[in-house]
Amino acid sequence: MTAHQEPPVELTAVAREDGVDAAAAAARRLIDSLLRAGDGTGVAMSGIAEQLTAIADRLDAHAPPFDERMVAMWAGDATTRHDPVTGPENALAPPVRFAGAADGSVSAVVELGVAYQGQPGCAHGGVSALLLDHALGVANHWGGRSGMTAELTLRYRAPVPLFVPLAVTGRQVAVDGRKLWAEGAISTADGAVCVAAKGFFIGKHLPRPR
């Protein structure tokens, strides 16, 4: 980093080492382990299922009403902890950690595991869409005006490989009143673009639960 460059700004929630974040990280590992193991390992999967069901039953027995949980989910600042892309509380999230640069762009590096597979050894196209929709939303927030997705256009140029570092980038490119436009991409480490995205957004948000 040269003297005139500003360090990137963290734009997503940072995972904690305890609490639900730690449990979600363990569940994320469990999902990967189940998919890697399958039924041909000699492990008694019925026993595993019983243990997991018991854990789920215990959590359900202590869970608050969902409307109360929604309030907690949406409390705090603009960075959510529960979404399926960046949320450290969500075992479905890789999770991705975006940072904002002084030039207006946002970026992250992520490695997708077998849980996100579509074609052999490659990420599902819907997963690419999920990552890029979120990246463009983060880019709009970093650009100063954010909103809800009205249209997302993707061009799949090459398969998105699993198990390798991938760059996910975004940038707000235009604003006209409540109309917002952003662009982004998923690329490999050598800069080859696998999926390119263009998004059109409307500058509004649903009210937060209270």
Q: What pLDDT, on the 0 to 100 scale, is given for residue 1?
A: 46
Average pLDDT for the chain: 95
Q: What pLDDT, on the 0 to 100 scale, is given for residue 77?
A: 74
> What's the average model confidence in pLDDT over 188-201?
97
Q: What pLDDT, on the 0 to 100 scale, is given for residue 78?
A: 67
> What's the average model confidence in pLDDT over 151-161?
98
Q: What pLDDT, on the 0 to 100 scale, is given for residue 40?
A: 86
Higher pLDDT, 6 or 168: 168
Query: Can you say how many angstroms the Cα of residue 135 is from the centroid of all Cα atoms in its chain?
Result: 8
The answer to whether 150 and 202 are in contact (CB under 8 A) is yes
Q: What pLDDT, on the 0 to 100 scale, is given for residue 107?
A: 98
* Chain segment 15-55, per-residue pLDDT in tens: 999 999 999 999 999 999 999 999 988 899 999 999 999 99
Q: State if pTM tops 0.85.
A: yes
Q: What is the 3-state secondary structure (H, E, C) of the chain?
A: CCCCCCCCEECCCCCCCCHHHHHHHHHHHHHHHHHHHCCCCCCCHHHHHHHHHHHHHHHHHHCCCHHHHHHHHCCCCCCCCCCCCCCCCCCCCCCCCCEECCCCEEEEEECCCHHHECCCCEECHHHHHHHHHHHHHHHHHHHCCCCEEEEEEEEECCCCECCCCEEEEEEEEEEECCEEEEEEEEEECCCCEEEEEEEEEECCCCCCCC
* Chain segment 105-134, per-residue pLDDT in tens: 999 999 999 999 999 999 999 999 999 999
The answer to whether 47 and 98 are in contact (CB under 8 A) is no
Does residue 4 register a pLDDT over 70? no
Percent of the chain with pLDDT over 90: 91
